[in-house]
């Protein structure tokens, strides 16, 4: 235990002698962790946005005005056989007409033109919701058959398909940029830690020789640098976690306005805090430990 406490003492002495490099190391590690957390925040928000859009997506199957209720019911029963379908809403011709009049309540020209018609020009509608938007293409394809060609007017889905495609593209581009930024900070952190230990070894080369002469083991000589890397790890993860928690608390009121749900980010971090801390701690520990080992192997001849 005495040897261990001495190693801790020497570690703090080394960090004090190279205070500027130590602070820069912590700063770069914090930036690296913040960029990684930014990626996580972006993924959480894009997942929430995609989920919200998917929940609102559906396809409307429009029937011709001469289509009978029996034919509409036949299509409804056919659609119920698909396991992908989670909800079906059938709107009669009268319901469709009422909704149309409500939507154009302020447009006198449209209502006057509609009033001149002898009968309801609109057909029934079936609104379909599936488990996943990709399933809509299967539903549309299944209705493109000769027996339904003369009773179904349209099955629009292109707008929804375009919206999903654009979200996926934006998400992938942002993720690539954030991953590249994290990798850049990790590389900078590697260089700074490597040079911090190299400078420390160079400035203490006389002390290291004296320690070897009085019987110090290789482990004792290396241990202060390993402990320093571990301290860098603890401090950087602690600072980054504090900043992230403040940031998600600041962002949550704005995200709640957009998504209609409160504390999206805070709830996510609270439910995954142990996993996130563990991943960040292990990730930075591997980076600092590997860098320290390489620096000691390269510059510490013991």
Instruction: Using alpha carbons, select from 223, 201, 207 the residue that is nearest to residue 299.
Output: 201
The residues with which 128 forms a beta bridge, in sequence order, are 59, 88
Domain boundaries, given as residue ranges, for the chain: 2-53+163-299, 58-132
Average pLDDT estimate for 64-78: 85
Torsions phi, psi for 3 (to 5 deg): -60, -40
Higher pLDDT, 3 or 139: 139
Name the CA dihedral angle for 262, 264, 267, 268, rounded to a multiple of 10 degrees.
170
The DSSP call for residue 226 is: H
DSSP per-residue string spanning 125-161 = EEEEEESSTTHHHHHHHHH-SHHHHTTEEE---HHHH
DSSP count for the chain of H helices, then E strands: 12, 4
CA distance 25 to 191: 9
Average pLDDT estimate for 191-213: 67
Q: Residue 203: its pLDDT value, please?
A: 66
Q: Residue 81: its pLDDT value, please?
A: 87
Residue 259 has pLDDT above 60, yes or no: yes
The residues with which 85 forms a beta bridge, in sequence order, are 130
The mean pLDDT value of the chain amounts to 76
Q: Residue 65: its pLDDT value, please?
A: 82
Q: Residue 302: its pLDDT value, please?
A: 47
Tell me what percent of the residues of the chain surpass a pLDDT of 70. 75
Indicate whether this model's pTM tops 0.85. no
Average pLDDT estimate for 46-70: 78
Instruction: Using alpha carbons, select from 265, 276, 269, 283 the residue that is nearest to residue 183.
Output: 283
Element housing 300 (H / E): none
Q: Residue 159: its pLDDT value, please?
A: 60
- What SS3 state is found at 121? coil
């Amino acid at each position: 235990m005495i040897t261990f406490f001495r190693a801790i003492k020497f570690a703090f002495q080394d960090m004090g002698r190279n205070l500027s490099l130590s602070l820069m190391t912590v700063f770069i590690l914090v930036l690296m962790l913040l960029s990684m957390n930014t990626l996580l925040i972006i993924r959480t928000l894009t997942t929430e946005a995609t989920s919200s859009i998917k929940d609102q997506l559906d396809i409307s199957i429009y029937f011709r005005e001469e289509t009978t209720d029996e034919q509409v019911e036949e299509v409804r029963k056919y659609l119920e056989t698909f396991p992908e379908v989670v909800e079906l809403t059938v709107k009669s011709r009268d319901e469709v007409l009422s909704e149309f009049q409500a939507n154009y309540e302020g447009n006198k020209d449209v209502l006057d033109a509609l009033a001149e018609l002898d009968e309801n020009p609109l057909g029934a509608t079936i609104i379909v919701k599936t488990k996943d938007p990709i399933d809509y293409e299967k539903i549309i394809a299944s209705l493109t058959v000769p027996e339904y060609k003369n009773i179904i007017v349209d099955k629009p889905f292109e707008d929804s398909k375009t919206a999903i495609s654009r979200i996926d593209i934006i998400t992938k581009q942002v993720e690539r940029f954030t991953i590249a930024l994290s990798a850049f900070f990790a590389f900078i952190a590697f260089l700074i830690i490597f040079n911090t230990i190299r400078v420390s070894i160079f400035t203490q080369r006389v002390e290291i020789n004296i320690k070897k002469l009085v019987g110090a083991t290789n482990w004792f000589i290396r241990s202060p640098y390993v402990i320093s890397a571990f301290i860098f790890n603890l401090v950087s993860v602690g600072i980054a976690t504090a900043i992230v928690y403040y940031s998600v608390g600041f962002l949550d009121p704005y995200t709640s306005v957009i998504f209609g749900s409160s504390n999206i980010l805070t709830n996510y971090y609270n439910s995954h805090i142990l996993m996130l801390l563990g991943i960040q701690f292990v990730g930075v520990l591997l980076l600092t430990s590997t860098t320290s080992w390489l620096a000691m192997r390269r510059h510490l001849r013991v």
